[in-house]
Structure 1
Amino acid sequence: MAISIDTFFLDPDSQGTLQAQIQQMIAQGILAGRYGKGEKLPSSRKLAMHLGISRITVTLAYTELLSNDYLTSRGRSGYFVSQNAPEPPKFAPQVKRTEAVDWSRAIGQKFTGGSAPTKPVDWQKYKYPFIYGQVDKTLFDHANWRLCALQALGARDFSALTADYYDQDDHQLIEFILRHTLPRRGIVARPEEVLITVGAQNALWLTAQILLTQRRTAAIEDPCYHALRDVLTQSRCHLSPIPVDRDGIQPDLIEDGTDVIFTTPSHQCPTSATMPHARRKQLLRRARDLEAIIVEDDYEFEVSFLGAPMPALKSLDEDGRVIYVGSFSKSIFPGLRLGYLVGSEEFIREARALRASVLRHPPGHIQRTTAYFLSLGHYDALVRKISKVYQKRREIMENAIQEYGLEIAGSGVFGGSSFWMRAPENVNTVELKHALKRNDVLIETGHPYFAASAGIMNYYRLAYSSISEELIPEGVKRIAHEIDQLTRH
């Protein structure tokens, strides 16, 4: 690979001859690792013209570097970084600068320090990964996704690939959502009431920014999706955690003065509880009495293999007070980062304007590729395949949990991809997580899902989306063994 000529420049404050400056510039580039072994340098003529100096000066500098084994010459091909050149240091090079900014004062609002747990990026190296939200490459339809991506790259879709939509979305993707996805949830909407987002989390952020202020109150489930709590904390609104039971959020506990209610009725996050029809009607009545808005996060409705999913909460809404959040990231693959918002035209207009000011729109090629994947039937086939496999894994995991005496605290009525687990009260699942990791097992601790002041440390989540069925029993056995060890201490 050739080294770009734009990376070479002379420092007007440098001391020494031009030849020495060129030698130092190239040597430092090699020592810093910017120029790799075998990479080609610009010709002496081009570099001389670029720097505005004599060609002989560059030639002499190259010759000196050649004699010191920094460079090598290949006949008429030019000069290259030598294979025998000094190795760059393993540590990061120190940049000499004076830090004159007091960042503790310069930063006006902090976004670090949230409750979101970290997940190992090398999770696939572990034999027993019971972690949530990762793709199983044995299930993903890579061949058809690739064909759809190639189709979206064609001349016919040149505009979809290259155009700046500004604040709009791919019309084919919107049409599929309106005609196929939403009707399956009992929802009827118009194009003006749908907005594509960068995943469900982006949809929740947009919603919080539009609906909440420092004077307004948001009711959230306890436990709840930890990233939602972080988003709402950053909005500086008042937070009101509402305990969930086996049927989800409890409407009669929602306080007077609540402005927005965030809920996950289909698969409560993280307990997987499914809100029954009567509770949904009760929640809608409570929201009407409060004149509150409900934000329904339906992140996992496709994974309903134990029975047909209940209609969405929004399908029961007669007042237009429910904003619906959907996602393709859970059912296609998490790296897709594609979701959508459904709400009143007035709300979507504001969400569209806010999205445009931050990121304009999700990439057109991703939207069009997804539209093809959906409309050609590959998506439905993928969901059926995933549901069949998940059902088998769930049965195996449920049997293993029962065999080894572990306790299920929550599981989805219609399916899902995980179990919400409870360890004995004297077991700290953070310690359990670290002990299991040393034993090739990954789990997800439960404390980030609870309100910050709760201090509940004995819950954890076991997902079966990323682990093959033959490994589940041994993995559960190892978890039971470590819990037993911690209980004894």
Structure 2
Amino acid sequence: MVNPRTIQWAQLFVLPEQPVLPLQGRLRFAIVQAILDGRLASGAALPSSRELSVLLGLSRNTVTSAYLQLMDEGFLEARPRSGVFVAPNARPLSAAHAEPPIGTVRQMPDWSARVLRSLVDLPTLSKPEQWRDYPYPFVYGTYDPQLFPTEDFRECCVRSLARSQLSHWTPDFETDDVPDLIEQIRTRLLPKRGVFALKEEIIVTIGAQHAYYLLADALFDECTRVGLEEPGHPHARNSFALRKPKWVEVSVDEDGVVVEGLPALDYLFVTPSHQSPTTATLSLDRRQWLLREAGLRDFVIIEDDYEAENLYAGEPMPALKSLDRSGRVIYIGSVSKSLSPVLRLGYIVAPLALIKELRVIRHAMVRHPSAFLQHAYALFLSLGHHESHARRVNAAMQERLALAAQALHEHLPDFEFALPQGGASIWVRAPAWVDAGELALVARSHGVLIEAGAVFFLKPPYPCPFFRLRLSSIAAAQIPAGIRALALAVDELAQGRGARLSG
């Protein structure tokens, strides 16, 4: 007959599926959760290490080590000749339940009337919650597990946790950044783009979008005339929109932003390295002309050096900031985008007077980005991991671009695109009758995710025949089949359109 107490322990100490944790860690997890959930009350007796090791099929040393660490952490206590028990204060005290005062008005505030700066209705790049279940995800904002430098990045994180390194990142930096990262940005990243800056002219951000927000907060109001590429980068547009500036559309062609005949501006946001979303590279002549216009007409350029490191053909084009001699270019860069967007590390290079203001605004928001992550990434850069990773990514993206181009020519010959010199995406123009938003919905039923082009336009046309194929989240082997499946979706859309017209 099975002992009821044994059944109880077996149910209480089910080890979680946590492959990253060793057995001892998984046992500690199970015990701590039982205590915090109230299933093991203060003073409750636990089974002996011998009994629990037999029950769970673990070594007695594993159970003993788990018990000892939980004693050190105040969850358990040992009583002489009695055994192991849950410590008296192992579970934090919770506030006592209380009734609201008599006469309390239960009507909720009208938040739709109270929110002064809402973005919920603005279109933005998005993907289904279960996007990983789709076999052909041509979408942005993810990392490639095949390319992620796991061991290199892990080495840098482990080194940052060494006792000798704690003093470099554990203090509160207030408005400052980790000096090692600023130095790596200044001496390793920026010179490759032709940019030379003082350490006081650089501020670290929580990704490029944080940079957009800081600049909008400091520089824009309802009277500010902000020029945006059309089509352009939706994340920048939405971050800037919080300050409700006056939008000025600036055309884009196969050579990037059109600088001739610019309207009156206070600021112009551009992505000259690989224009988002068209991937066009702004020519050197246009860059020089744009800087002359900025000086003559007194506007400031905000340059997002988008995917500048992803170059597959030709010589690197110097950043606009490298040509700037009058402090009219604010430069935005990212140190984590090629690794994984979720790491959220970017930076701004700008004149000292503006950087001082941005530091105070950033401090009011988040004080500063994670000092630990800054320190770990400074090591990642200093050890050369960033450059070697960039080379691997570039080789992989070059292969994927070639496969995608070949498949598009074969399966969608009526669709127009220009093979980019770099970046990780292809901007496609479908025949005029295709609306890419409608195509994206049909494509999902074929397992394909694409980025419909309307989100990139301030004023999208209808039908909007443009869409973007992002190649950073899909394996090379899946690309030809993904384009074939997209062609099937186009056929299905055409059949539905034909049925509607004949009806």
* Smaller-chain TM-score bracket: 0.7 to 0.9
Identity %, equivalent residues = 36
- Matches of residues 392-407 of structure 1 in structure 2 within 5 Å? 392-404=399-411, 405-407=413-415
Asked if the contact 1:423–1:483 (Cα under 8 Å) also holds between the matched residues in 2, the reply is no
Distance in 2 separating the partners of 1:300 and 1:440: 27
Q: Deviations over 1:41-62 (max 9, x none)?
A: 23489xxxxxxxxxxxxxxxxx
**TM-aligned CA distance change 1:259 to 1:456, over 3 Å:** farther
Which 10-residue stretch deviates more, 267-276 or 463-472?
463-472
SS of the residue 1:235 aligns to: coil
Asked if the contact 1:242–1:253 (Cα under 8 Å) also holds between the matched residues in 2, the reply is no
2:431 matches 1:424: yes
User: What is the aligned partner in structure 2 of residue 291 from structure 1?
Assistant: 298
Q: Deviations over 1:431-463 (max 9, x none)?
A: 211222121111111101001364452211111
2:48 matches 1:39: no
Out of 242, 247, 261, the position equivalent to 2:250 is: 242
Shift of 1:313: 0.8
Distance in 1 separating the partners of 2:329 and 2:477: 42
2:443 matches 1:462: no
SS of the residue 2:242 aligns to: helix
Out of 145, 153, 157, the position equivalent to 1:145 is: 153
2:325 matches 1:325: no
**TM-aligned CA distance change 1:143 to 1:220, over 3 Å:** same
Out of 187, 192, 215, the position equivalent to 1:207 is: 215
Shift of 1:302: 0.9
Which 10-residue stretch deviates more, 233-242 or 188-197?
233-242
Asked if the contact 1:266–1:298 (Cα under 8 Å) also holds between the matched residues in 2, the reply is yes
Distance in 1 separating the partners of 2:284 and 2:146: 36
User: What is the aligned partner in structure 2 of residue 264 from structure 1?
Assistant: 271
**TM-aligned CA distance change 1:345 to 1:455, over 3 Å:** farther
Q: How well do the aligned residues superpose, as a CA RMSD in angstroms? A: 2.5
User: What is the aligned partner in structure 2 of residue 72 from structure 1?
Assistant: none
User: What is the aligned partner in structure 2 of residue 111 from structure 1?
Assistant: 119
Which amino acid in the other structure matches residue 418 of structure 1? S
2:373 matches 1:373: no
2:321 matches 1:314: yes
SS of the residue 1:252 aligns to: coil
Out of 362, 369, 372, the position equivalent to 1:355 is: 362
Which amino acid in the other structure matches residue 98 of structure 1? R
**TM-aligned CA distance change 1:284 to 1:372, over 3 Å:** same
TM-score, normalised with respect to structure 2: 0.77
- Matches of residues 164-243 of structure 1 in structure 2 within 5 Å? 164-243=172-251
**TM-aligned CA distance change 1:359 to 1:43, over 3 Å:** same
Q: Deviations over 1:72-109 (max 9, x none)?
A: xxx98789xxxxxxxxxxxxxxxx99343222333233
**TM-aligned CA distance change 1:175 to 1:42, over 3 Å:** same
SS of the residue 2:157 aligns to: helix
What stretches of structure 2 of length at least 5 have no aligned partner? 1-8, 13-32, 46-81, 87-103, 498-503
Which amino acid in the other structure matches residue 322 of structure 1? V
SS of the residue 1:309 aligns to: coil
Distance in 1 separating the partners of 2:416 and 2:188: 35
**TM-aligned CA distance change 1:453 to 1:387, over 3 Å:** closer
Asked if the contact 1:299–1:330 (Cα under 8 Å) also holds between the matched residues in 2, the reply is no
User: What is the aligned partner in structure 1 of residue 170 from structure 2?
Assistant: 162
Distance in 1 separating the partners of 2:38 and 2:84: 12
**TM-aligned CA distance change 1:255 to 1:34, over 3 Å:** farther
2:450 matches 1:443: yes
**TM-aligned CA distance change 1:398 to 1:294, over 3 Å:** same
Q: Deviations over 1:176-225 (max 9, x none)?
A: 11111100000110001000000011111111222222111000000011
Q: Deviations over 1:130-185 (max 9, x none)?
A: 11232110011101101100111111121233211111001111111111110000
Distance in 2 separating the partners of 1:409 and 1:239: 28
Which amino acid in the other structure matches residue 127 of structure 1? P
**TM-aligned CA distance change 1:106 to 1:34, over 3 Å:** farther
Which amino acid in the other structure matches residue 120 of structure 2? T
TM-score, normalised with respect to structure 1: 0.80
Out of 263, 273, 277, the position equivalent to 1:255 is: 263
Which amino acid in the other structure matches residue 248 of structure 1? G
2:138 matches 1:130: yes
2:288 matches 1:281: yes
Distance in 2 separating the partners of 1:97 and 1:477: 60
Out of 372, 390, 403, the position equivalent to 2:397 is: 390
User: What is the aligned partner in structure 1 of residue 416 from structure 2?
Assistant: 408
**TM-aligned CA distance change 1:128 to 1:453, over 3 Å:** closer
What stretches of structure 1 of length at least 5 have no aligned partner? 4-32, 46-74, 80-95
Which amino acid in the other structure matches residue 290 of structure 1? R
SS of the residue 1:218 aligns to: strand
Asked if the contact 1:266–1:312 (Cα under 8 Å) also holds between the matched residues in 2, the reply is yes
